Amino acid sequence: MAQAAQLNEYSAIFGTHSHAPPPMHKTPMAIQNEIIGKADHRGNTPGKFLRSDALAKFLEDVGHNGMAGLHPSLNNTYRIGSWIQKERLLQNPLGQSYEGIVLN
């Protein structure tokens, strides 16, 4: 019994993997910068951005039907939302409310 436990502790699997590799999760900076350049960051949300005419024209120009065609990591819409939020904070570090307007 002790020998079996010792073998299981150091087991290894050899052979070929039959599953697909995991999807890429990091978007290349060149693609990210192009997409951020198309966004209007004032009051924009991921939903508004994904339905925008600027994005539709950009995707048509590069020959893709959707964001996932540009890069597999763009299937996640939360990624785009975080980019929009980051750009908003870079442009208006104090926000767009009363304090942000008065203190800017």
Q: Distance between the two ends of the chain, CA-based, in angstroms?
A: 73
The band of 103, judged by pLDDT with boundaries at 50, 70 and 90, is: low
- Residue 15's region, left for phi above 0, alpha for psi from -120 to 50, else beta, is left
**What pLDDT sits at residue 4?**
52
At 82, the amino acid letter reads S
**How far, in Å, CA of 80 to CA of 82, rounded?**
5
Q: For the whole prediction, is pTM greater than 0.85?
A: no
- Nearest alpha-carbon partner for 30 in 71, 86, 61: 71
**What pLDDT sits at residue 11?**
62
Rounded (10°) angle between helices 77-91 and 29-38: 70
Q: Could you read off the pLDDT of 51-82 as tens digits, one per residue?
A: 888 888 888 998 988 888 888 888 888 888 88
Q: Which two tokens stand for residue 54?
A: 């600027």
- Nearest alpha-carbon partner for 40 in 28, 58, 26: 58
Q: Which two tokens stand for residue 86?
A: 């980051």
Q: Could you read off the pLDDT of 3-30 as tens digits, one per residue?
A: 555 555 656 667 787 888 777 778 888 8
